[in-house]
Amino acid sequence: MAGFVAVLMLGGWTLGAEPSPALLAAASGTAFAAVVLGQLANAFACRSETRPMGRRRWAGNPLLLWAVAVEAVLLVVFLGVPPLPGLLGGSFPPPAGWALAALAVPAVVGADALHKAIQDRERGRTGRRLVRPVRPVWPVWPVRPVWPVRPVWPVRGAAAPSPPGQAER
């Protein structure tokens, strides 16, 4: 919203005045671009619950890179290819609008890093996770095998099982 108001004010709008349709469309395009760029940053920031975005490899997930590239192309198409901007009520933002929209990226990354740092500090203080792990839905009851199962690994104090086909002595 700050980018929306800033583009309006940079375009000459004052409080109480009616903005021109072109200026309103440019401000709407800036707000839309800020949301999309923030979501692009969020896609990278949410790849780990504990490590900030800068501590992960960028190319670790090629499908994520493709998805981000497609989303960036769609952003430009939605804002710059007629008649889509008119149908969506926006237009291509001015350079100052793009700069303001790009500020959503460090805002999201910084908020995510701060959240993870606070969680890390709290986890270090208590020695446990703050978020309970998700319990699996299946199986709900304790599963016991129907057939007798022999351990695959050696058990202390137990005799080694005889090979299959040989009678036990």
* pTM of the model as a whole: 0.66
Rounded Cα distance, 26 and 97, in Å: 8
- What pLDDT does residue 148 have? 58
- pLDDT for residue 147: 55
Three-state secondary-structure class, residue 77: helix
Q: How much is the pLDDT for 158?
A: 59
Do residues 26 and 93 lie in contact, with contact meaning Cβ atoms separated by under 8 Å? Answer: yes
Residues of the chain with pLDDT under 50: none
Given this model, what pLDDT does residue 60 score?
A: 74
Query: Given this model, what pLDDT does residue 71 score?
Result: 93
Q: Give residue-wise pLDDT tens across range 90-101.
A: 888 899 999 999
Please give the Cα distance from 112 to 39 (Å, whole number). Answer: 12
Q: What per-residue confidence (pLDDT) applies to 141?
A: 53
Q: What is the largest CA-CA distance in the chain?
A: 99
pLDDT of residue 33: 93
